């Protein structure tokens, strides 16, 4: 083997990897249907598809977590059998999981050393591991302190630990499963720099995503999957975002939803110097002041964990406010219970839709009346009016295009997108005056995302005041009239739609005022 | 009278028996630390202790060989651990409930065997005191620390050994990772099932030795339900000790000293109702747990069965 076939980490590179005719059946589902996929050194191959298209299944097969029913895997032209992650690691295949596989209470070095044989036999050799981590970090410009505990690190840093973990194990081919889902725009840029460095060095990278602009920005080739089948593979330079989206969904998709011109009305929701605690005992919100008008969407952008949950919970009466007031249509509603806010036509689309948005063991029809089950027409004198409830459910299922076998199906058996439609149906069909929407499209695929966004815009046209809390900057930019950025529980700034750019918002999300970061003149 | 407690002889006596009485707590709690660190709550300690106590006692009584008694107890504990591991790891049982099941099983079977094989309370000549040359001659200190039997010494040796294994070995790293984030461990090729089998069986063995230490080293008798809740206190001690061997040692000593004190109160005929005296360790359990609550975070995956996400 010549020198050029080695990576900077000292491991042999993988020249090519090919998956041929991969088929995987789960009970009732054909997850992968004769899929061909290949990747070679020095490229980023993006794998694109909606939820349930079969991307994860295919990659889990490559990483040895699933075994294919049919098909073969060729490494450098020779067939290999990968029956466990250990096999994959030994072949030089690494995976960065969407949910980090890190032990929070252990150090970076301990996380890296876990599962590896030690040079000191039964004893750990963390000093040696730390030294090697520093070496690798230098080669790939990943800044990381081996003795830091994982819980002390930011999400972006934790991801770097995952990359180091794979490199340490000699990964020449790296599967990145939706790696940007949890990052700020700046962190995404940093990740891309690292990825380009790795590609230059001769690594092969598989990049899973459904964010089209990222796929276009980083990949050399792109393969699209839909419903378990491969639609095609193309060089990225020969495609556009629009092509890819249409390919992925199988129909025309609109990126810039039609916002229309909506007259802004009176102030419906006002937060005045609101403070509250958090579950961790630290301050959750500090002096937050916001106003949302009728016919307006106020977007709240920020990196996860900077007070978004607390904001949604204080406005909906789920969390105690320690200072300040919340005013709903001119009435001070500070400290009112969620039920009383419901009566004032406040609707809430919660972030954790499976936990806070519905009762998994209840039927679709029951979930659709949760908020107003105690009122007419759904109940009379304490008795449920079953026929009215059924009629109501049928109407909403049709109106919101909920794909469900029947109104009596248990909520837990629906897909993520349809669960969110049930929540939307319940919350939006009552003509709310104020809507709190927290991460309304998180985890949904393009089709469902498009639907949810259209519904929110529809409510805006109908004159509702909407507080949209989202960590997805594209979503914030596509929907909001004004954008508030929160950082460590404070509102950094509120900018108008016209003045907002991803760069500017990204800096604010990191706690930096753009003016401050500019060189003094 | 109360002032009797403060004579030198009595104080030394209280401390020496306190050191001795910590032995079963140490074995059982250290075993439980390993289990909980790997994410498994074993509430069946009490049952494992009773079976271990009976096995050791019966073998020692019939063969006269104490070490054979300990060995058989360890085997019995390992078998109990194996069963528990199967129920916990393979069948993914609710650990709080299955543990109580194992407790009741151990209690019932040890009682049955006692009635069938012995019938009456008998005594054995237990492990003799070993006087450590030189050290045991030191006034006071010698009697407290260096005039104990071998099972007591081994129990204390387990504390640094457990710390070392958990913190300085690759096995310890695996155990901790499996208890905190089994998905992460699994993704790196660590077998969650194998690690949990290991810790649960180890816990079973140590619990059985804890029982043996009662029946052939400390009390030298076997009686029905002779552990009287000691196994449950051992579980509480793990929480109290914040999942650290040294913390467990502190807790074990606190309880054994209180226990020793209440025994001496009864011996000296101090007019405190014996019911109240006997209650003290248990009341203390509750108080300590209330105080210790939320001080330190438990292993994240504690009591959660592991299943590879499909």
Interface confidence (ipTM) of the complex:
0.85
Looking at the complex, does the CB of residue B190 fall below 8 Å from at least one CB of chain A?
yes
| Contact (CB<8Å) A103/B184 | yes
- Can you read off the two tokens belonging to residue A395? 């109407």
State residue A474's pLDDT score. 85
Identify all chain B residues contacting A104, using CB atoms and an 8 Å cutoff. Answer: 180-181, 300
Interface of B with A in 247-306 (CB under 8 A): 297, 300
Residue of B nearest to A119 (CA): B170
Looking at the partner chain, which of B168, B185, B310 has a beta carbon nearest the beta carbon of A114?
B185
Identify all chain A residues contacting B180, using CB atoms and an 8 Å cutoff. Answer: 103-106
Question: Taking the domains of chain B in order of start, what are their residue ranges?
Answer: 23-230
Identify all chain B residues contacting A26, using CB atoms and an 8 Å cutoff. Answer: 310
Identify all chain A residues contacting B188, using CB atoms and an 8 Å cutoff. Answer: 85, 89, 101, 114-116, 165
| Inter-chain contacts counted by CB atoms under 8 A, chains A and B | 71
| Contact (CB<8Å) B189/A85 | yes
| Contact (CB<8Å) B189/A115 | yes
Give the mutation candidate from B188, B294, B306 for the A interface (greatest A CB count, under 10 A).
B188
Identify all chain B residues contacting A99, using CB atoms and an 8 Å cutoff. Answer: 183
Looking at the partner chain, which of B169, B173, B187 has a beta carbon nearest the beta carbon of A101?
B187
Looking at the complex, does the CB of residue B180 fall below 8 Å from at least one CB of chain A?
yes
State residue A271's pLDDT score. 95
Q: How close does chain B come to A416, measured CA to CA in Å?
A: 16
Give the mutation candidate from B165, B169, B170, B242 for the A interface (greatest A CB count, under 10 A).
B170
| Contact (CB<8Å) B170/A117 | yes
Q: How close does chain B come to A326, measured CA to CA in Å?
A: 33
Identify all chain A residues contacting B183, using CB atoms and an 8 Å cutoff. Answer: 99, 101
Distance CA A196, CA A202 (A): 10
**CB count in 10 Å sphere of residue A337:** 11
| Contact (CB<8Å) A97/B181 | no
State residue A521's pLDDT score. 41
Residue of A nearest to B296 (CA): A105
Identify all chain A residues contacting B300, using CB atoms and an 8 Å cutoff. Answer: 104-105
Looking at the complex, does the CB of residue B187 fall below 8 Å from at least one CB of chain A?
yes
State residue B295's pLDDT score. 62
What domains, with CATH codes, occur in chain A? 3-101+169-249 (3.40.50.300), 267-345+431-517 (3.40.50.300)
Q: How close does chain B come to A329, measured CA to CA in Å?
A: 42
Q: How close does chain A come to B123, measured CA to CA in Å?
A: 43
Burial class (CB in 10 A: 0-12, 13-18, 19+), B280: middle
Looking at the complex, does the CB of residue B123 fall below 8 Å from at least one CB of chain A?
no
Identify all chain A residues contacting B174, using CB atoms and an 8 Å cutoff. Answer: 114-115
Looking at the partner chain, which of B173, B189, B190 has a beta carbon nearest the beta carbon of A110?
B173
Identify all chain A residues contacting B39, using CB atoms and an 8 Å cutoff. Answer: none
Looking at the partner chain, which of A85, A102, A106 has a beta carbon nearest the beta carbon of B176?
A106
Looking at the partner chain, which of B171, B172, B180 has a beta carbon nearest the beta carbon of A103?
B180
Distance CA A49, CA A429 (A): 31
Three-state secondary structure of A381-404 = CCEECHHHHHHHHHHHHHHCCCCC
Burial class (CB in 10 A: 0-12, 13-18, 19+), A320: exposed
| Contact (CB<8Å) A103/B169 | no
State residue B293's pLDDT score. 62
Burial class (CB in 10 A: 0-12, 13-18, 19+), A404: buried
Cα distances (Å, whole numbers) of residue A133 to A128, A268, B231:
9, 54, 44
Distance CA B260, CA B13 (A): 9
| Contact (CB<8Å) A105/B180 | yes
The residue to which tokens 């209840």 are assigned: A362
State residue B5's pLDDT score. 67
At A459-508, the pLDDT tens digits run 999 999 999 999 888 889 999 999 999 998 999 999 999 999 888 898 89
| Contact (CB<8Å) B181/A102 | yes
Identify all chain B residues contacting A113, using CB atoms and an 8 Å cutoff. Answer: 170, 173
Give the mutation candidate from B39, B181, B299 for the A interface (greatest A CB count, under 10 A).
B181
| Contact (CB<8Å) A85/B173 | no
Q: How close does chain B come to A263, measured CA to CA in Å?
A: 49
Half-sphere exposure (Cβ direction) of A218: Cα atoms closer than 13 Å: 33
At B112-133, the pLDDT tens digits run 999 999 988 899 999 999 888 8
Cα distances (Å, whole numbers) of residue B43 to A220, B224, B233:
56, 19, 10
The whole-angstrom distance between residue A78's C-alpha and the CA centroid of its chain comes to 37
| Contact (CB<8Å) B173/A113 | yes
- Listed as ranges, residues in chain B with pLDDT below 70 are 1-5, 292-295, 309-310
Distance CA A445, CA A457 (A): 18
**CB count in 10 Å sphere of residue B112:** 12
Cα distances (Å, whole numbers) of residue A70 to A34, A81, B50:
8, 12, 54
pLDDT 10s digit of each residue in chain A, 521 long? 444 678 887 788 899 999 999 999 987 778 899 999 999 999 999 999 877 788 888 999 999 989 999 999 999 999 999 998 889 999 999 999 888 899 999 999 999 999 888 888 899 999 999 999 999 999 888 888 999 999 888 888 999 999 999 999 989 999 999 888 777 777 888 899 999 999 999 999 999 987 888 899 999 999 999 889 999 999 999 998 888 888 888 877 766 677 878 888 999 999 999 999 887 667 789 999 999 999 999 999 988 778 888 999 999 999 999 999 999 999 999 989 999 999 999 999 998 888 888 998 999 999 999 988 888 889 888 899 999 999 999 999 999 988 888 899 898 888 778 899 999 999 999 999 999 999 998 878 788 888 899 999 999 999 999 999 998 888 899 999 999 999 989 999 999 999 998 888 988 988 888 766 554 44
| Contact (CB<8Å) B170/A113 | yes
Identify all chain B residues contacting A106, using CB atoms and an 8 Å cutoff. Answer: 173, 176-177, 180
User: Nearest CA to B18 among B104, B127, B143, B108?
Assistant: B143
| Contact (CB<8Å) A114/B173 | yes
Q: How close does chain A come to B244, measured CA to CA in Å?
A: 14
Helix, coil or strand: residue A493: strand
What percentage of chain B's residues is helix, strand, coil (to nearest 5)?
A: 75, 5, 25
Identify all chain B residues contacting A97, using CB atoms and an 8 Å cutoff. Answer: 187
- Can you read off the two tokens belonging to residue B1? 């009278």
């Amino acid at each position: 083997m010549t020198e050029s076939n080695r990576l900077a980490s000292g491991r042999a590179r993988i020249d090519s990897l090919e998956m041929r005719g991969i088929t995987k059946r789960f009970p009732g589902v054909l997850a992968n249907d004769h899929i061909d996929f290949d990747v070679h050194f020095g490229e980023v191959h993006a794998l694109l598809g909606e939820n349930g298209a079969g991307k994860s299944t295919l990659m889990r097969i490559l990483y040895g977590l699933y075994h294919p029913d049919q098909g073969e895997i060729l490494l450098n032209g020779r067939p290999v059998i990968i029956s466990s992650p250990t096999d994959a690691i030994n072949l030089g295949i690494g995976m960065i999981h969407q949910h980090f596989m890190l032990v929070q209470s252990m150090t970076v070095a301990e996380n890296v050393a876990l599962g590896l044989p030690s040079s000191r036999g039964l004893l750990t050799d963390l000093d040696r591991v730390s030294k090697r981590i520093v070496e690798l970090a230098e080669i790939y410009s990943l800044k990381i302190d081996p003795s830091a505990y994982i819980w002390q690190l930011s999400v972006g840093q934790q991801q770097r630990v995952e990359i180091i973990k794979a490199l340490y194990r000699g990964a020449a081919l790296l599967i990145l499963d939706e790696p940007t889902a949890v990052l700020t725009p700046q962190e995404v840029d940093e990740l891309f720099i690292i990825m380009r460095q790795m590609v230059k060095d001769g690594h092969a990278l598989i990049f899973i995503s459904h964010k089209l602009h990222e796929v276009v920005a980083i990949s050399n080739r792109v393969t699209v999957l839909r419903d378990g089948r491969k639609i095609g593979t193309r060089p990225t330079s020969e495609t556009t975002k629009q092509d890819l989206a249409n390919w992925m969904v199988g129909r025309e998709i609109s990126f810039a939803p039609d916002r229309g011109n909506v007259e802004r009305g009176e102030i419906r929701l006002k937060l005045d110097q609101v403070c509250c605690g958090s579950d961790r005992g630290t301050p959750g919100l500090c002096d937050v002041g916001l106003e949302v008008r009728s016919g307006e969407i106020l977007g709240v952008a920020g990196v996860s964990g900077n007070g978004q949950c607390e904001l949604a919970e204080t406005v909906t009466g789920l969390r105690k406010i320690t200072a300040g007031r919340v005013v709903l249509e001119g009435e001070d509603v500070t400290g009112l219970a969620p039920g009383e806010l419901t009566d004032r036509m406040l609707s809430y689309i919660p972030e954790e839709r499976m936990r806070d948005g519905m009762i998994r063991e209840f039927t679709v029809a029951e979930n659709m009346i949760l908020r107003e089950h105690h009122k007419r027409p759904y109940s009379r004198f304490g008795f449920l009016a079953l026929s009215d409830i059924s009629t109501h459910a049928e109407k909403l299922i049709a109106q919101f295009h909920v794909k469900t076998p029947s109104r009596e199906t248990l909520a837990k058996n629906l897909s993520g997108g349809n669960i969110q439609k049930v929540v939307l149906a319940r919350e939006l069909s009552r003509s709310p005056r104020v809507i709190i929407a927290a991460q309304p499209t998180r985890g949904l695929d393009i089709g469902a995302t498009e639907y949810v966004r259209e519904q929110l815009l529809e409510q805006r046209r109908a004159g509702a005041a909407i507080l949209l809390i989202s960590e997805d900057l594209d979503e914030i930019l596509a929907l909001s009239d004004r954008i508030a950025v929160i950082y460590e529980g404070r509102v950094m700034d509120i900018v108008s739609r016209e003045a907002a750019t991803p760069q500017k918002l990204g800096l604010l999300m990191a706690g930096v005022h753009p003016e401050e970061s500019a060189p003094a003149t | 009278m109360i002032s009797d407690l403060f004579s030198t002889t009595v104080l030394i006596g209280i401390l020496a028996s306190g050191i001795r009485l910590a032995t079963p707590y140490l074995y059982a709690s250290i075993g439980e630390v390993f289990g909980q660190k790997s994410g498994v709550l074993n509430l069946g300690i009490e049952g494992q202790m009773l079976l271990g106590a009976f096995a050791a006692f019966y073998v020692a009584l019939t063969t006269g060989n104490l070490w054979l008694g300990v060995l058989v107890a360890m085997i019995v504990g390992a078998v109990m651990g194996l069963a528990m591991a199967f129920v916990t790891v393979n069948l993914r049982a609710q650990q709080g409930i299955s543990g109580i099941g194992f407790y009741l099983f151990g209690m019932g079977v040890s009682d049955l065997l006692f009635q069938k094989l012995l019938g009456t309370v008998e005594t054995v000549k237990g492990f003799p005191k070993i006087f450590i040359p030189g050290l045991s001659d030191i006034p006071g200190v010698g009697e407290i620390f260096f005039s104990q039997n071998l099972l007591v010494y081994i129990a204390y040796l387990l504390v640094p050994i457990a710390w070392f294994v958990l913190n300085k070995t690759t096995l310890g790293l695996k155990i901790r990772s499996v208890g905190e984030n089994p998905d992460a461990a699994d993704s790196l090729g660590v077998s969650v099932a194998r690690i949990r089998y290991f810790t649960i069986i180890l816990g079973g063995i140590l619990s059985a030795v804890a029982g043996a230490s009662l029946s052939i080293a400390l009390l030298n008798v076997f009686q029905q339900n002779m552990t009287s809740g000691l196994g449950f206190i051992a579980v509480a001690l793990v929480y109290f000790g914040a999942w650290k061997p040294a913390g467990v040692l502190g807790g074990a000593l606190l309880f054994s000293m209180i226990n020793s004190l209440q025994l001496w109160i009864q011996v000296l005929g101090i007019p405190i109702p014996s019911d109240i005296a006997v209650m003290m360790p248990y009341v203390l359990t509750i108080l300590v747990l209330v105080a210790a609550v939320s001080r330190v975070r438990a292993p994240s995956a504690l009591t959660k069965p592991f299943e590879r996400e499909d």
